Amino acid sequence: MDQLLKSTKIDVNTGKDFDLMALDMHNVATIFSWLIALIPTTVQTVAANHCADFFFQELSVPSVHDIGALVAFGSGVVYITLQSIISYKSCPQWNTYSVCHIRMAISVISCIAFIPMIVFASRISMTKIYWTPGEKDYTYHLVSAICEWTVAFGFIFFFLTFIRDFQRVSLRISTEIHEDT
């Protein structure tokens, strides 16, 4: 194989005139929020690769599960809050104010649900998978689980709000390969 990769060009077209230099102060916030997003991604990757069996992770080593959930949900809430603020700063070039309001509402609901999720989960004295009403700590488990699912679905709905933004972005990659003679 005597072929050499001479150049690769990546062109991103948003379909709109967008002044990237006007967002210099916000580029720092974007980079910071991406770094925050790397934390839950790393935690979830490690958990998925090393603790593939769900019951093993939660029942055998509950502290690992709890710390992983705290880091994943906590940094996720920080991430969507920062992205909501960035959405307001980049409006109306990328989205409308109604989308910004929806994102911020999802962020606020997720932040509010995150707090009782932690408080009630910390009050549960036993770790088990199947619960029945009337058991000790059942109410704490129920409230914590509802809040956990609220935050999880908040993340899903938050990311769905970016569909329209990314529909306007096109990515073209061109590569030139030259043979070595």
| pLDDT one-digit tens code per residue, 77-125 | 999 999 999 888 887 777 889 999 999 999 999 999 999 999 988 887 7
pLDDT band at 33 (very low <50, low <70, confident <90, very high): low
At 162, give phi and psi (nearest 5°).
Answer: -90, 0
**pLDDT score for 132:** 76
Q: Is the distance from CB of 141 to CB of 131 less than 8 angstroms?
A: yes
Which has the closest alpha carbon to 94: 86, 102, 82, 106? 86
pTM summary value: 0.66
Residue 32 Cα distances to 8, 38, 103, angstroms: 28, 10, 18
d(CA 153, CA 99): 17
Tokens at 29, concatenated = 């916030």
Residue-wise pLDDT tens digits, 153-174: 999 999 999 888 777 777 677 7
Residue 67's identity, in one-letter code, is I
Q: Which helix (H) or strand (E) holds 108?
A: helix 97-122
